Protein backbone atom coordinates (compact mmCIF):
# COMPACT_ATOMS: atom_id res chain seq x y z
CA UNK A 1 0.00 0.00 0.00
CA UNK A 2 1.49 3.35 -1.02
CA UNK A 3 1.45 6.48 1.14
CA UNK A 4 -1.54 8.09 -0.63
CA UNK A 5 -3.63 4.94 -0.08
CA UNK A 6 -2.58 4.81 3.56
CA UNK A 7 -3.63 8.45 3.98
CA UNK A 8 -7.00 7.77 2.34
CA UNK A 9 -7.66 4.92 4.77
CA UNK A 10 -7.20 7.30 7.70
CA UNK A 11 -10.36 9.12 6.57
CA UNK A 12 -13.50 7.90 8.36
CA UNK A 13 -15.59 9.42 5.58
CA UNK A 14 -13.71 7.54 2.88
CA UNK A 15 -14.06 4.21 4.68
CA UNK A 16 -17.78 4.79 5.24
CA UNK A 17 -18.29 5.42 1.51
CA UNK A 18 -16.48 2.15 0.71
CA UNK A 19 -18.77 0.17 3.01
CA UNK A 20 -22.14 1.59 1.97
CA UNK A 21 -22.42 -0.15 -1.45
CA UNK A 22 -22.40 -3.59 0.23
CA UNK A 23 -25.99 -4.68 0.97
CA UNK A 24 -24.89 -6.86 3.86
CA UNK A 25 -23.04 -3.99 5.57
CA UNK A 26 -25.15 -0.90 4.80
CA UNK A 27 -27.93 -1.62 7.37
CA UNK A 28 -25.33 -1.53 10.15
CA UNK A 29 -23.68 1.78 9.15
CA UNK A 30 -25.10 4.72 11.17
CA UNK A 31 -26.20 7.75 9.18
CA UNK A 32 -23.00 9.77 8.73
CA UNK A 33 -22.71 13.23 7.15
CA UNK A 34 -20.25 16.08 6.83
CA UNK A 35 -20.25 18.56 9.69
CA UNK A 36 -22.28 21.62 8.67
CA UNK A 37 -24.84 23.72 10.49
CA UNK A 38 -27.67 22.42 8.29
CA UNK A 39 -26.66 18.78 8.78
CA UNK A 40 -26.29 19.27 12.53
CA UNK A 41 -29.76 20.78 12.81
CA UNK A 42 -31.50 18.17 10.65
CA UNK A 43 -29.78 15.20 12.30
CA UNK A 44 -30.59 16.45 15.79
CA UNK A 45 -34.23 16.86 14.76
CA UNK A 46 -34.24 13.33 13.36
CA UNK A 47 -32.24 11.42 16.00
CA UNK A 48 -32.18 13.61 19.10
CA UNK A 49 -28.55 12.66 19.77
CA UNK A 50 -25.51 12.60 17.48
CA UNK A 51 -21.74 12.33 17.72
CA UNK A 52 -19.47 14.95 16.17
CA UNK A 53 -16.04 13.49 15.49
CA UNK A 54 -12.87 14.36 13.54
CA UNK A 55 -12.72 12.84 10.07
CA UNK A 56 -9.15 11.81 10.88
CA UNK A 57 -8.33 10.95 14.44
CA UNK A 58 -7.49 8.19 16.90
CA UNK A 59 -8.01 7.20 20.53
CA UNK A 60 -11.41 8.91 20.69
CA UNK A 61 -9.81 12.36 20.75
CA UNK A 62 -12.05 15.24 19.71
CA UNK A 63 -15.30 13.23 19.87
CA UNK A 64 -18.34 15.14 21.19
CA UNK A 65 -21.84 13.92 22.00
CA UNK A 66 -24.52 16.44 21.05
CA UNK A 67 -28.15 16.28 22.23
CA UNK A 68 -31.38 18.11 21.59
CA UNK A 69 -33.27 18.28 24.87
CA UNK A 70 -36.87 19.12 25.68
CA UNK A 71 -37.95 22.71 25.16
CA UNK A 72 -35.60 23.25 22.21
CA UNK A 73 -32.53 23.31 24.42
CA UNK A 74 -29.24 21.80 23.28
CA UNK A 75 -26.13 20.42 24.95
CA UNK A 76 -22.85 18.78 24.10
CA UNK A 77 -20.30 16.83 26.09
CA UNK A 78 -16.58 16.75 25.33
CA UNK A 79 -14.46 14.53 27.58
CA UNK A 80 -15.91 15.22 31.06
CA UNK A 81 -17.32 18.70 30.38
CA UNK A 82 -20.98 19.29 29.47
CA UNK A 83 -22.24 22.64 28.10
CA UNK A 84 -25.87 23.70 27.49
CA UNK A 85 -27.33 26.16 24.96
CA UNK A 86 -30.67 27.87 24.34
CA UNK A 87 -30.64 27.48 20.55
CA UNK A 88 -28.89 25.62 17.75
CA UNK A 89 -27.06 28.76 16.58
CA UNK A 90 -25.26 29.12 19.92
CA UNK A 91 -24.57 25.38 19.94
CA UNK A 92 -23.07 25.46 16.45
CA UNK A 93 -20.94 28.51 17.25
CA UNK A 94 -19.46 26.79 20.30
CA UNK A 95 -18.88 23.50 18.49
CA UNK A 96 -17.18 25.29 15.62
CA UNK A 97 -14.63 26.75 18.03
CA UNK A 98 -13.76 23.15 18.92
CA UNK A 99 -13.64 21.89 15.34
CA UNK A 100 -11.69 24.86 13.95
CA UNK A 101 -10.64 24.37 10.35
CA UNK A 102 -10.39 20.59 10.61
CA UNK A 103 -12.85 18.32 8.81
CA UNK A 104 -15.47 16.78 11.11
CA UNK A 105 -18.32 14.32 10.67
CA UNK A 106 -21.74 13.96 12.29
CA UNK A 107 -22.83 10.41 13.09
CA UNK A 108 -26.21 9.18 14.28
CA UNK A 109 -26.04 8.60 18.03
CA UNK A 110 -26.42 5.03 19.28
CA UNK A 111 -27.85 4.43 22.75
CA UNK A 112 -25.36 1.77 23.75
CA UNK A 113 -25.90 -1.13 26.11
CA UNK A 114 -24.60 -0.58 29.63
CA UNK A 115 -22.74 -2.59 32.20
CA UNK A 116 -23.03 -1.31 35.77
CA UNK A 117 -24.37 2.01 34.43
CA UNK A 118 -21.38 2.43 32.10
CA UNK A 119 -21.59 2.27 28.30
CA UNK A 120 -19.63 -0.35 26.43
CA UNK A 121 -18.81 -1.21 22.84
CA UNK A 122 -16.89 -3.99 21.08
CA UNK A 123 -13.65 -4.32 19.13
CA UNK A 124 -13.52 -7.11 16.53
CA UNK A 125 -10.00 -7.88 15.25
CA UNK A 126 -9.91 -9.25 11.69
CA UNK A 127 -6.59 -10.42 10.20
CA UNK A 128 -5.11 -12.59 7.48
CA UNK A 129 -1.74 -13.90 6.43
CA UNK A 130 -0.31 -13.27 2.95
CA UNK A 131 -2.27 -16.01 1.18
CA UNK A 132 -4.99 -17.10 3.60
CA UNK A 133 -8.57 -15.89 4.01
CA UNK A 134 -9.74 -13.27 6.48
CA UNK A 135 -10.21 -14.53 10.01
CA UNK A 136 -11.71 -12.97 13.12
CA UNK A 137 -8.83 -13.49 15.55
CA UNK A 138 -10.14 -11.60 18.56
CA UNK A 139 -13.20 -9.94 20.06
CA UNK A 140 -13.20 -7.83 23.21
CA UNK A 141 -15.48 -5.47 25.11
CA UNK A 142 -14.50 -1.90 26.01
CA UNK A 143 -16.19 -0.44 29.08
CA UNK A 144 -16.31 3.34 29.01
CA UNK A 145 -15.04 5.65 31.72
CA UNK A 146 -18.01 6.56 33.98
CA UNK A 147 -17.71 10.29 33.21
CA UNK A 148 -16.67 10.12 29.55
CA UNK A 149 -18.49 9.46 26.28
CA UNK A 150 -15.85 7.28 24.61
CA UNK A 151 -14.81 3.73 25.48
CA UNK A 152 -11.28 3.83 24.10
CA UNK A 153 -8.59 2.31 26.31
CA UNK A 154 -6.37 5.37 25.82
CA UNK A 155 -9.20 7.61 27.06
CA UNK A 156 -9.82 5.74 30.30
CA UNK A 157 -11.88 2.80 29.02
CA UNK A 158 -11.47 -0.69 30.47
CA UNK A 159 -10.92 -3.74 28.20
CA UNK A 160 -13.03 -6.70 29.34
CA UNK A 161 -14.08 -10.12 28.14
CA UNK A 162 -17.20 -9.58 26.04
CA UNK A 163 -19.02 -12.45 27.75
CA UNK A 164 -18.64 -10.63 31.08
CA UNK A 165 -20.37 -7.54 29.66
CA UNK A 166 -23.15 -9.49 27.96
CA UNK A 167 -24.05 -11.95 30.70
CA UNK A 168 -26.58 -9.62 32.36
CA UNK A 169 -28.28 -9.06 28.98
CA UNK A 170 -28.23 -12.42 27.18
CA UNK A 171 -28.16 -16.13 27.87
CA UNK A 172 -24.99 -18.05 26.95
CA UNK A 173 -26.58 -19.45 23.78
CA UNK A 174 -27.74 -15.97 22.69
CA UNK A 175 -24.28 -14.59 23.45
CA UNK A 176 -22.70 -17.24 21.22
CA UNK A 177 -25.12 -16.38 18.39
CA UNK A 178 -24.37 -12.67 18.70
CA UNK A 179 -20.58 -13.15 18.82
CA UNK A 180 -20.77 -15.36 15.72
CA UNK A 181 -22.73 -12.60 13.95
CA UNK A 182 -20.22 -9.92 14.97
CA UNK A 183 -17.26 -12.00 13.79
CA UNK A 184 -18.96 -12.62 10.44
CA UNK A 185 -19.71 -8.89 10.06
CA UNK A 186 -16.06 -8.07 10.72
CA UNK A 187 -14.90 -10.49 8.01
CA UNK A 188 -17.45 -9.06 5.54
CA UNK A 189 -16.16 -5.54 6.22
CA UNK A 190 -12.54 -6.60 5.68
CA UNK A 191 -13.44 -8.34 2.41
CA UNK A 192 -15.29 -5.24 1.19
CA UNK A 193 -12.36 -2.92 1.92
CA UNK A 194 -9.97 -5.39 0.29
CA UNK A 195 -11.70 -4.80 -3.06
CA UNK A 196 -10.22 -1.31 -3.07
CA UNK A 197 -7.09 -1.98 -1.02
CA UNK A 198 -5.96 -5.55 -1.77
CA UNK A 199 -2.73 -5.46 0.22
CA UNK A 200 -3.78 -4.56 3.74
CA UNK A 201 -3.77 -7.37 6.28
CA UNK A 202 -5.71 -6.35 9.39
CA UNK A 203 -8.51 -4.14 10.70
CA UNK A 204 -10.14 -3.43 14.03
CA UNK A 205 -13.91 -2.92 13.78
CA UNK A 206 -15.55 -0.94 16.58
CA UNK A 207 -19.17 -1.99 17.02
CA UNK A 208 -21.86 -0.64 19.33
CA UNK A 209 -24.93 -2.60 20.39
CA UNK A 210 -28.18 -0.75 20.92
CA UNK A 211 -30.89 -1.88 23.34
CA UNK A 212 -32.33 -4.30 20.76
CA UNK A 213 -28.83 -5.82 20.28
CA UNK A 214 -28.53 -4.42 16.76
CA UNK A 215 -24.84 -3.99 15.87
CA UNK A 216 -23.76 -0.56 14.59
CA UNK A 217 -20.39 0.03 12.95
CA UNK A 218 -18.94 2.96 14.87
CA UNK A 219 -15.56 2.95 13.17
CA UNK A 220 -13.10 0.81 11.19
CA UNK A 221 -9.44 1.08 12.17
CA UNK A 222 -6.83 0.04 9.61
CA UNK A 223 -3.98 0.32 12.15
CA UNK A 224 -5.49 -1.49 15.13
CA UNK A 225 -3.64 -1.82 18.42
CA UNK A 226 -3.16 -5.54 19.19
CA UNK A 227 -2.08 -4.96 22.78
CA UNK A 228 -5.58 -4.27 24.09
CA UNK A 229 -6.09 -8.06 23.99
CA UNK A 230 -3.19 -8.49 26.39
CA UNK A 231 -5.40 -6.93 29.08
CA UNK A 232 -7.53 -10.09 29.21
CA UNK A 233 -6.72 -12.73 31.82
CA UNK A 234 -6.92 -15.47 29.19
CA UNK A 235 -3.93 -14.80 26.92
CA UNK A 236 -4.87 -17.28 24.16
CA UNK A 237 -6.70 -14.62 22.12
CA UNK A 238 -3.80 -12.19 22.50
CA UNK A 239 -1.28 -14.80 21.35
CA UNK A 240 -3.27 -15.38 18.16
CA UNK A 241 -3.77 -11.67 17.46
CA UNK A 242 -0.11 -10.78 18.04
CA UNK A 243 1.15 -13.64 15.86
CA UNK A 244 -0.91 -12.37 12.90
CA UNK A 245 0.11 -8.79 13.70
CA UNK A 246 3.79 -9.74 13.52
CA UNK A 247 3.27 -11.52 10.21
CA UNK A 248 1.59 -8.41 8.80
CA UNK A 249 4.43 -6.16 9.94
CA UNK A 250 7.47 -8.31 9.18
CA UNK A 251 7.13 -7.64 5.44
CA UNK A 252 7.76 -3.94 5.99
CA UNK A 253 11.37 -3.14 5.11
CA UNK A 254 13.40 -1.49 7.83
CA UNK A 255 15.33 1.20 5.98
CA UNK A 256 18.06 3.49 7.22
CA UNK A 257 16.60 7.01 7.55
CA UNK A 258 17.93 9.43 4.92
CA UNK A 259 19.67 11.50 7.60
CA UNK A 260 21.58 8.42 8.80
CA UNK A 261 22.38 7.48 5.20
CA UNK A 262 23.84 10.93 4.61
CA UNK A 263 25.86 10.63 7.81
CA UNK A 264 27.16 7.25 6.67
CA UNK A 265 28.08 8.65 3.25
CA UNK A 266 29.78 11.63 4.86
CA UNK A 267 31.70 9.33 7.19
CA UNK A 268 32.86 7.16 4.28
CA UNK A 269 33.84 10.28 2.37
CA UNK A 270 35.79 11.64 5.34
CA UNK A 271 37.46 8.28 5.87
CA UNK A 272 38.46 8.27 2.20
CA UNK A 273 39.85 11.80 2.53
CA UNK A 274 41.77 10.85 5.68
CA UNK A 275 43.18 7.81 3.92
CA UNK A 276 44.24 9.88 0.89
CA UNK A 277 45.73 12.56 3.14
CA UNK A 278 47.59 9.89 5.09
CA UNK A 279 48.98 8.38 1.89
CA UNK A 280 49.90 11.84 0.62
CA UNK A 281 51.69 12.74 3.86
CA UNK A 282 53.52 9.41 3.85
CA UNK A 283 54.65 9.91 0.25
CA UNK A 284 55.80 13.46 1.07
CA UNK A 285 57.88 12.23 4.04
CA UNK A 286 59.50 9.52 1.90
CA UNK A 287 60.39 12.09 -0.78
CA UNK A 288 62.05 14.37 1.81
CA UNK A 289 64.12 11.47 3.20
CA UNK A 290 65.31 10.53 -0.29
CA UNK A 291 66.28 14.15 -1.00
CA UNK A 292 68.37 14.38 2.22
CA UNK A 293 70.13 11.10 1.45
CA UNK A 294 71.02 12.38 -2.04
CA UNK A 295 72.53 15.60 -0.59
CA UNK A 296 74.60 13.61 1.94
CA UNK A 297 76.14 11.50 -0.83
CA UNK A 298 77.04 14.52 -3.00
CA UNK A 299 78.76 16.25 -0.07
Instruction: Determine the pLDDT at residue 256.
Output: 34
CA distances from 187 to 17, 23, 27, 102 (A): 18, 14, 16, 32
pTM more than 0.85: no
Cβ contact 205:134 at 8 Å: no
Q: What domains appear along the chain, each with residue ranges and CATH number?
A: 17-109 (3.30.1490.20), 110-251 (3.30.470.20)
Q: In the chain, pLDDT over 70 holds for what percent of residues?
A: 81
- C-beta neighbour count of 225 within 10 angstroms: 18
Instruction: Determine the pLDDT at residue 121.
Output: 97
pLDDT tens digit string along 167-189? 999 999 999 999 999 999 999 99
Q: In the chain, pLDDT over 90 holds for what percent of residues?
A: 68
Q: Which residues of the chain have pLDDT under 70?
A: 1-8, 59, 251-299
CA distances from 15 to 45, 62, 164 (A): 26, 19, 31
Amino acid sequence: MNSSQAQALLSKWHKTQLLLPHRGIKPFVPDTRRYTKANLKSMLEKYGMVYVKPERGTFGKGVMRVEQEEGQRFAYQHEEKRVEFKNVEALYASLSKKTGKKSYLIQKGIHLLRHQKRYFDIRVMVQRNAKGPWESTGIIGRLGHPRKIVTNYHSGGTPMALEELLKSHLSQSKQAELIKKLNALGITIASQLQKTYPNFRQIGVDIGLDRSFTPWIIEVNTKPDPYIFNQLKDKSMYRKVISYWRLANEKKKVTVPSEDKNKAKSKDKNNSKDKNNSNSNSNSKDAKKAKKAKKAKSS
